[in-house]
Amino acid sequence: MADENSKTDESTPATLPTHEELVDERLVAWYFLAALAYLFISMSGGFLMAFQLIKHNPLNGIEIFSPGRWRMVHTNAIAYGFLANAFLGMLHWVIPRLTLRPVLDRRLSLFIFCAWQFVVVATAVGLLLGQAQGLEWGETPVWIDPVAQLGLLLVAINFMAPIMKQKGPMYVTLWYFVAAFIWTFLTYAMGNFVPEYFVSGSSAGAVGGLFIHDLVGLFVTPLGWGMMYYFVPILLKKPIWSHGLSLVGFWGLAFFYPLQGIHHFLYTPIPMFLQYGAIMSTIAVELVVLTVVINFFGTLWGDGRQFWDNLPIRWFYTGMVYYFLTCLQCSLQVTLTFQALIHFTDWVVGHAHLVMFGVFSMWLLGVMTYLFPRLLKQEWYSQTLCEWHYWLSAGGMLVMASDLILGGLFQGWSWAALQPWDASVEISQPFWAVRVVSGLAIFGGQLAFVYNLYKTWQLSRVRLS
Amino acid sequence: MTSPPANRQRTMFIVTAVLAVLILVPSGVGFVNKLFEFYGVIKGEASGAFAFTPVVNYLLASMGFLCLMLWAIGHGMFHDIERPKQTMLETERMLDEQRATEVDS
């Protein structure tokens, strides 16, 4: 026991700080609320695009609300509005508790919160006014890019300060977070500045491909997995199955992920050796993912009942199943044979929704389900509404992804048979109608969550008074 | 025991060396050859440089993480590799207990 204590002391301060000294709960709650607001904005953008496809756009003819612009608001709001805000809130909880040190400066945290909301709102307004930059998922108007880049630098400085004071072996969550801070800063710079100012043509296309995928793999993925390695052991009250295996997953991601983005541009003038490299590294990442998934299911082994009884755990493991499926799908769709069929089809749209909502959003919603009662010091107003939130989200996502993936195959076969373009649009109508319905289910789930949150907040006020 | 340990070690060394030469030399030649081809693409074609950007991006990112990995090995980050998962849970338990005590009091 004495030996165990001395080992713990190596990486922790001499005296144990209190939770209040470490975590600014108010800021965590603000980030989560901002994230939820952007989630609704993003879903509204998605709905407008979905209604446009089934020829029922309610805002038809209004330039500022044209579907092309709303689509960009949809994707940017989910990345920079929902995911970034929710991750920042989570980081303000996890890093101080893991390192037993607060962030560098709470005033800086507050400033970053305000600055980031400005970046996201300005991006949305800029996109609606037609100031988009010509880069998929990097459409943030050019004048916002330096501000966002500075914001990412401040985020890295604020959170790296407590991590850098750690001594001795670091827990895998911190490895993922350190990598995410570095990668996100570099990825944003690469995607938003290199094609804009330094390269053009196919070269810019290659960098654009790297940017899109690195935003998923080097910003969202390390934060997501780092978060899971923290919350799953805490909720299951037992350590991760193998910490060594978790580090294999981390270093595998570090070395295999950065080259895969070019798989977005197969059959293009980009040299074939780069395309083959992207294909091979994508398949290699699937093996890395397998080690991570095995590790988490190894941790759950013997506690399978928790999947049904513990709602945040259910959110997390459902997301993991979706993650494995989406990566398996990825390793198939990057082959040249498969790509010839599904490129430009709704298969890709289904894949994107599965990973962004089915995995990372579900993990974050699970974290919110766990943390909001702790932040408000009040149990959920209704467990039934929590269940509705889960089932509508998970079920809606399953239907939406299956529908779009299947629809994508029909579109691909239609084009391969040299049918006219209009024919592929016509056969897509039932799939697009089902997509609207499944989207409504997901939307309903989030409404249930927000209503439940509001009532829980009311209860917490009553209790305090 | 059909052969003495010294002979066995010598045999193993020879087999390993032969296999290493057979595998590593052709692989190394192929890799260097590809690097020369790549250099030729960049230098020989007017638009060849476009191949350069993504590769340099990847190499910079990977080299950075290779350095980080070497640093981590050098600083004992992988010694007692399973310990952090226990420390993390212990820290959480202490924080929660402390918080519960504060709420009770």
Q: Which of A133, A152, A168 is the last residue of a domain?
A: A168
Considering only alpha carbons, which residue of chain B is nearest residue A377? B103
Over range A297-301, report the average pLDDT. Answer: 95
The whole domain housing A151 covers 13-168
For residue A426, tell me if it sits in a domain: yes
Q: Is the pLDDT of residue A3 over 70?
A: no
Q: Is the pLDDT of residue A188 over 60?
A: yes
Select from A349, A325, A346 the least CA-distant residue to A413: A346
Which tens digit of pLDDT belongs to each residue from B38-91?
Answer: 777 777 765 566 667 767 777 777 788 888 888 888 888 888 899 999 999 999
Q: Is the pLDDT of residue A174 over 80?
A: yes
Q: Is the pLDDT of residue A4 over 50?
A: no
Which tens digit of pLDDT belongs to each residue from A217-231?
Answer: 889 999 999 999 999
pLDDT score, position A6:
41
Q: ipTM score of the complex?
A: 0.83
pLDDT score, position B7:
82
Q: Is the pLDDT of residue A463 over 70?
A: yes
- B-chain CB neighbours of A18 within 8 Å are 98-99, 102
Torsion of CA A194, A350, A450, A220, to 10 degrees: -40
Q: What is the mean pLDDT of chain A?
A: 92
pLDDT score, position B50:
65
Domain count for chain A: 2
Q: Is the pLDDT of residue B31 over 70?
A: yes
Lowest mean pLDDT among A385-399, A451-465, B17-31: B17-31
- Distance CA(A286)–CA(A332), nearest Å, equals 10
Q: Return the structure tokens found at A118.
A: 């400005």
Q: Return the structure tokens found at A125.
A: 């307004």
pLDDT score, position B15:
83
Lowest mean pLDDT among A115-119, A136-140, A320-324, A399-403: A136-140
The percentage of chain A sitting over the pLDDT mark of 90, rounded to a whole number, equals 75
Q: Which of A138, A168, A198 is the last residue of a domain?
A: A168
Over range A362-380, report the average pLDDT. Answer: 97
Q: Is the pLDDT of residue A411 over 80?
A: yes
- A-chain CB neighbours of B80 within 8 Å are 7, 169
- Distance CA(A157)–CA(A250), nearest Å, equals 22
pLDDT score, position A421:
93
For residue A414, tell me if it sits in a domain: yes
Angle in degrees, 0-180, between the axes of helices A362-376 and A421-464, rounded to the nearest 10? 10
Q: Please give the single-letter amino acid code of residue A40.
A: F
From B51, B66, B81, residue closest to A169, measured CB to CB: B81
The whole domain housing B51 covers 5-104
- Distance CA(A324)–CA(A83), nearest Å, equals 20
Q: How far is B28 from chain A (nearest CA, A)?
A: 18
For residue A458, tell me if it sits in a domain: yes
Q: Return the structure tokens found at A26.
A: 């108010």
Q: Which of A143, A168, A193 is the last residue of a domain?
A: A168
Select from A360, A282, A375, A272 the least CA-distant residue to A320: A360
Question: pTM for the full model?
Answer: 0.89
Q: How far is A431 from chain B (nearest CA, A)?
A: 37
Domain count for chain B: 1
Q: Is the pLDDT of residue A208 over 60?
A: yes
For residue A68, tell me if it sits in a domain: yes
Q: Is the pLDDT of residue A354 over 90?
A: yes
